[in-house]
């Protein structure tokens, strides 16, 4: 009987382990999906931005771009950069404010980043998050 019990225990154990593994896999997958910060954020239309930047006010957008130049700097607000966006319709340049809290990043011309930005007053794009590509 005891043998039967230990056999049963082993199957259960294997099942539990398997389930655990499966759960682990599922968990990892879920975690991976939900953990993407740019997941679900609308990609910005640079062409539309040039036509009317004010209409981007209040929205959150993402894009990938290369630092073209630093335009200006404000101690309280942060640094205003020009990012070059390469699109099928050509190259566009967007002015993006990188807040002071992200100033620790070592930003240099030519670096490419993936950025999550939010449209502020007068259509100014302010970085919420950025990842180096």
Partner 1 sequence: MNQLILLLFGTVVISTSYGQLSNANSSGLNSGGFQAQGNLPSLPYSGSNTQLPYGMPEPSSGLDGFLWDGKKFTLGDTRVFNAKFVGYLNEPQEELDEEKSYQEMLHKILDSLDVFRVRSESKSKILQEILPLLQKAMRNPRDSGQCRAIYNSIGSDYHGRDDIAFTQMRLKELRKDVETIRWNMQVNANPSEMDLTWNPGVVSRGHVKISNDQTELEQKLAEMKSLSEHTQTKVVESRIALQRVIASLFLSRHFDHVMLATSIYRFLYSDGAGGIEIEDSIISAASESAKKMRAATSYDRSVKSDNTMGYGQTKGAYSNNIVDQKNTESGIVSILPNMSEVLDKQASLKLAVLGNIPKDMSELESVTQELIDQTNRMMKSVKSLMAQGLYEDAMQRLQEALLPGEHLSALRTFPFEKRQNLWKYLQEKQKILASVSSKDYASAAKKIEEMKEVSKDNPFVKELAEIKNLQGASDMYIAKAKEAASRGDSDGMNKALEEAAKIWPQNPALNETTQQMNKLTQGKDELKKLLHQQNYDYIMKESARFLAVAADDPTLLAELKSVLEKESKAVAFKERITEVLKRGDPAGAWEEAEKSIGEHPGNTDLIKLRSDAAIACTTFVQQIEKAKKAEERKDPAAALSLYLSARSIYPSSSISKEAIERLSKELLQK
List residues binding partner 1 (CB under 8 A): 46, 49-54, 56, 68, 71-72, 74, 77, 80, 82, 84, 91-95, 97, 122-125
Q: Of 7 and 84, which CB lies nearer to partner 1 in the complex structure? A: 84
- CB of 36 vs partner 1, minimal distance in Å: 28
Give me the torsion for CA of 65, 70, 75, 76, rounded to 10°. Answer: -30
Q: Of 95 and 107, which CB lies nearer to partner 1 in the complex structure? A: 95
| 56 and 49 Cβ atoms separated by less than 8 Å | yes
C-alpha distances (whole Å) from 131 to each of 20, 30, 45, 82, 106 are 33, 21, 19, 16, 12
Q: Of 8 and 48, which CB lies nearer to partner 1 in the complex structure? A: 48
């Amino acid at each position: 009987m005891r043998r039967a019990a230990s056999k049963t225990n082993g199957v259960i154990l294997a099942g539990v382990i398997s389930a655990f593994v499966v759960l682990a896999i599922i968990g990892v997958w879920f975690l991976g999906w939900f953990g993407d910060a740019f997941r679900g954020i609308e990609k910005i239309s640079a062409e539309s931005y040039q036509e009317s930047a004010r209409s981007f006010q209040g929205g959150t957008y993402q894009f990938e771009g290369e630092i073209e130049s630093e335009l200006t700097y404000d101690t309280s607000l942060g640094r205003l950069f020009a990012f070059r966006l390469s699109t099928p319709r050509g190259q566009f340049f967007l002015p993006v404010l990188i807040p002071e809290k992200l100033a620790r990043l070592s930003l240099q011309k030519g670096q490419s980043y993936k950025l999550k930005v939010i449209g502020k007053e007068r259509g100014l794009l302010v970085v919420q998050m950025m990842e180096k590509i």
